[in-house]
Chain A
């Protein structure tokens, strides 16, 4: 166990910049954007077409704020809905309706402010997956490229442990910095909007229970994120362990070829659907996620089927690391 921890720490030392700087920069950008939007923004008039799932358009009322602010309160009194606030960067006075609509629909059907706050955290999740994919491709390729694999292999550590430590790192250690930034972004956003918005959020006041609920969902999502995305991690690690050059090309091209072959042969898109699902951080709290939807996801066959595929790919990665030393 101690050896595994040492190996995971070694991964952290090698990749800490990669997994901390980008989310930190994104966090700074989010804070600056929210600050700019709340402090310097102006009222923007937007026509929001809010509909129920299958019903007719709901009568809308719009209430604009003082010019120094930039939010819109939309509510549908006839449908018995609470007033809900929509916000967006106020740099432009003519906000495009499609984006506003995308925000508006769930805002009215769910708790609007929470949904909006969830939106703030989404870029962090996607940023992490991009960085993690890149790291996975390179972590076994770089050690061959710079020949440091000869040093690592001169230590009494078998390839199973090395590959396991890399997977464990990217699945459960690497996301921590990003998720911490996401938490800070959400907190700062809610506080900024509450305080600087001068009560603009009529239906949102800072709520500790709500925050704790979201943190709980985030924790659950974090625990299962590594398993959910494990096929992606394992595949990219295998590509890095096998390819002498351009492992990213292999990691990208082969799935595309498989998707095409499946489509030609059977007319189905099972591989494409699988990849699409597992390339998304689906276990993390999103716009609509609830405890039950998250629990349904983490207990479903899609997650555990993906884990089985990942285990197979990781086993191949171990074999590749045993055999391929040069790059």
Chain B
């Protein structure tokens, strides 16, 4: 990813400590307009802290952060005019009726389109006079998605948005996201443990561990930079691999910046998926 003045998010050397624990330790991130960026890391890697900082929900100890040109901590309300946010499920007020929730968002958010929200809800079984608390988890996500996607936001931040949902709702969630939200100039920043289910929608990925960005790349760049060799003759595999693991098909080696042509005679050469890269980078964070 390259940086330019029009970046939606520009974070440099962010740091945040909780007592003796460094949640963010020199974290960098750039999100450009029109990109879908996956922020991927293990539990406790600093993902949620980074998102909170981006949304103005936590005060940073150091570093420089601009989101849509604003300082999130100081200008959260202004920022949220152009930023929408869905964390993991279950944050909608359970006591509120669906209709009242729509009225509320319409009343406080100038960029909210009631018509669009109603159209999206019409595709669901959600009744307007029911309290949020009696809706199923999947319906609550549908409702939240309808509310958020009806907002004309430049950036959508998703924090484990499909956590706890069954496979049908998860598929539906990302389909809706791509069909109804994503268009030129709008960006998405998403964190999830379900790496496989978002791999196909990402344009960029940032792997984060121990509060630092360990790998920042476009998905195309990943495909070019990393190569997987599967061989039944491990002794012939060239040195310089990042990770090695035994599988039923043979021994798998993961290389960075290796010539595919040079590996081809040794075994089967393929492009590693994001999950494999994630594991590799986490095992060798300085690779």
A207 proximity list for chain B (CB < 8 A) = none
B94 proximity list for chain A (CB < 8 A) = 146, 148
B103 proximity list for chain A (CB < 8 A) = 6
Count class of interface residues, chain B: 20 to 34
Query: Judging by beta carbons under 8 Å apart, are A151 and B91 in contact?
Result: yes
Cβ of B84 within 8 Å of any chain A Cβ, yes or no, is: yes
Bound Cα distance from A91 to B110, whole angstroms: 61
Cβ of A154 within 8 Å of any chain B Cβ, yes or no, is: yes
Query: Judging by beta carbons under 8 Å apart, are B109 and A13 in contact?
Result: no
Contacting B at CB under 8 A, from A1-45, are 2-3, 5-7, 9-10, 13-14
B79 proximity list for chain A (CB < 8 A) = 156
Cβ of A288 within 8 Å of any chain B Cβ, yes or no, is: no
Cβ of A245 within 8 Å of any chain B Cβ, yes or no, is: no
* Given known A-B contacts A2-B107, A13-B100, A156-B81, A146 and B93 have beta carbons under 8 A apart: yes
Cβ of A325 within 8 Å of any chain B Cβ, yes or no, is: yes
A residues engaging B (CB < 8 A)? 2-3, 5-7, 9-10, 13-14, 143, 146-148, 150-158, 161, 323, 325
Distance from B17 Cβ to chain A, minimum over Cβ atoms (Å):
15
Bound Cα distance from A257 to B85, whole angstroms: 42
Bound Cα distance from A265 to B46, whole angstroms: 48
Query: Judging by beta carbons under 8 Å apart, are A323 and B108 in contact?
Result: no
A154 proximity list for chain B (CB < 8 A) = 55, 80, 84-86, 148
Query: Judging by beta carbons under 8 Å apart, are B87 and A150 in contact?
Result: yes
Cβ of B198 within 8 Å of any chain A Cβ, yes or no, is: no
* Given known A-B contacts A154-B85, A323-B59, A14 and B107 have beta carbons under 8 A apart: no
B residues engaging A (CB < 8 A)? 52, 55, 57-59, 76-81, 84-87, 90-97, 100, 103-105, 107-110, 144, 148
A-B contact number at CB 8 A: 71
Distance from A10 Cβ to chain B, minimum over Cβ atoms (Å):
6
Bound Cα distance from A27 to B77, whole angstroms: 43
* Given known A-B contacts A3-B107, A150-B85, A155-B105, A14 and B95 have beta carbons under 8 A apart: yes
A325 proximity list for chain B (CB < 8 A) = 52, 57-58
Distance from A148 Cβ to chain B, minimum over Cβ atoms (Å):
4
A151 proximity list for chain B (CB < 8 A) = 91-93, 144
Which residue of chain B has its CB nearest to the CB of A2? B107
* Given known A-B contacts A3-B107, A323-B59, A155 and B91 have beta carbons under 8 A apart: no
List 12 additional A-B contacts (Cβ < 8 Å) besides A7-B108, A156-B81.
A6-B107, A13-B96, A14-B95, A150-B87, A151-B93, A151-B144, A155-B80, A155-B109, A156-B79, A157-B108, A158-B77, A325-B58
Distance from B53 Cβ to chain A, minimum over Cβ atoms (Å):
12
Query: Judging by beta carbons under 8 Å apart, are B108 and A14 in contact?
Result: no
7 contacts between A and B (CB under 8 A): A6-B103, A6-B104, A147-B90, A153-B57, A154-B85, A156-B80, A158-B77
Partner of B92, one of A3, A148, A157, A323: A148
A323 proximity list for chain B (CB < 8 A) = 59
Which residue of chain B has its CB nearest to the CB of A6? B107
Bound Cα distance from A147 to B88, whole angstroms: 10
